[in-house]
Amino acid sequence: MPRYALKVEYHGGPFAGWQRQTAQPSVQATVEAALARLEADIPSIAAAGRTDAGVHATGQVAHCDLAKEWEPFRLMEALNWHLKPAPVAILAAARVAPDFHARFSASERRYTYRLIARRAPLTLGAGLAWRVLRPLDAEAMREAAEHLVGRHDFTTFRSTLCQSKSPLKTLDEIRIEDVEIPHGREYRFHLRARSFLHNQVRSIVGTLERAGAGAWSPADVKAALQARDRAACGPVAPPDGLCLTGVSYPEDPFG
């Protein structure tokens, strides 16, 4: 069966996450339903990241096996037709090798978290960012983030439900942008790693926000990491601001 990679964009608000779940809407089930309109008996598809409920994506990658040959552009167009009106879009499709796996072949994943500081509620950005009322100290957050970059035991920053066999992960980058916007400021947290633990990004952002608000010092963030204790973590940031922005492979399937 020919295998295809799909680059997927979605608004996570209506979904209980990427992974198919009983009696709850998921992105995976929505894409599989669209595939089923093209061919019967489509095997289950796999994705690079199992994003949680409410988390978005602009660069999710999934793969599927189809019974017949499809021209990638026609496959993309057909899927987008059948995905309507769900807030899910196929940005690109590509034929890949039979051993390509969206999850296990990935060499890097990139997430961006948007946090907006302003007094007024969000309207156009509602559901796409976390709002706090007061500006944050970006330099304090950057100093705190330096303690988290590299290979560490991230027990403090992973969910108690995490199924990963080890809490050891290498975080390659945390880059924090501080942008002035009308009536407030926006902070964009860009995180890059080969793989992440369950809730790791949201746990890190929620903890860094405490440093930016002055409630924690950068040294407190370092101590939380070294505690290797989930109870030492700061508040977990809400899912609204989190977006899976890209996945890299040794060879770009869409290049």
DSSP 21-72: BTTB--HHHHHHHHHHTTSSSPPPPEES--PBTT-EEEEEEEEEE-SS---H
Q: Mean pLDDT of all residues in the chain?
A: 97
Residues 125 and 242 in one domain: yes
Residues 234 and 131 in one domain: yes
Report the CATH number that the domain containing residue 46 is assigned in CATH: 3.30.70.580
Reported confidence tier of residue 42, pLDDT bands at 50, 70, 90: confident
Give the rounded percent of residues in the chain with a pLDDT score beyond 90: 95
Report the CATH number that the domain containing residue 227 is assigned in CATH: 3.30.70.660
| Cβ–Cβ under 8 Å, residues 157 and 197 | yes
Q: Would strands 168-181 and 184-193 be described as parallel, antiparallel, or unpaired?
A: antiparallel
Longest Cα–Cα distance in the chain: 58
Residues 124 and 221 in one domain: yes
| Cβ–Cβ under 8 Å, residues 187 and 176 | yes
User: For 101-116, b where at least 16 C-beta lie within 10 A, e where not — what string?
Assistant: bbbebbeebbbbbbbb
Q: What would the mean pLDDT of 194-208 be, rounded to a whole number? A: 97
DSSP string for residues in 225-238? HHHT-GGGS-PPPP
For the chain, how many structural domains are there in total? Answer: 2
| Cβ–Cβ under 8 Å, residues 39 and 79 | no
Whether 136 is covered by a domain: the verdict is yes
Residues 55 and 116 in one domain: no
Q: What would the mean pLDDT of 164-174 be, rounded to a whole number? A: 96
Q: Please, what is the angle between helix 138-146 and helix 218-227, to 10°?
A: 30
23 CB-near residues (< 8 Å, 6+ apart) = none
Model pTM greater than 0.85? yes
Whether 254 is covered by a domain: the verdict is no
| Cβ–Cβ under 8 Å, residues 201 and 242 | yes
Residues 205 and 191 in one domain: yes
Whether 127 is covered by a domain: the verdict is yes
Does residue 129 register a pLDDT over 90? yes
Residues 73 and 120 in one domain: no
Residues 59 and 185 in one domain: no
In angstroms, rounded to a whole number, what is the distance separating the alpha carbons of residues 128 and 115?
9
Reported confidence tier of residue 43, pLDDT bands at 50, 70, 90: confident
Does residue 41 register a pLDDT over 90? no
Residues 89 and 154 in one domain: no
* 3-state SS, residue 123: coil
Residues 62 and 174 in one domain: no
Catalytic site includes residue 41: no
Condensed to tens digits (0 to 9), the pLDDT of residues 14-36 reads 999 999 998 999 999 999 999 99
pLDDT at 204: 98
Residue 114's nearest CA partner among 238, 29, 21 is 238
What is the extent of the structural domain holding 120? Answer: 108-246
Residues 98 and 112 in one domain: no
Last residue of a domain, one of 105, 135, 164: 105
From 41, 52, 99, 178, the catalytic residue? 52
Residues 31 and 136 in one domain: no
Whether 240 is covered by a domain: the verdict is yes
Does residue 1 register a pLDDT over 90? no
pLDDT at 34: 97
Question: Which spans in 53-163 are helix H?
Answer: 72-83, 138-146
Whether 255 is covered by a domain: the verdict is no
In angstroms, rounded to a whole number, what is the distance separating the alpha carbons of residues 252 and 20?
26
Residues 75 and 137 in one domain: no
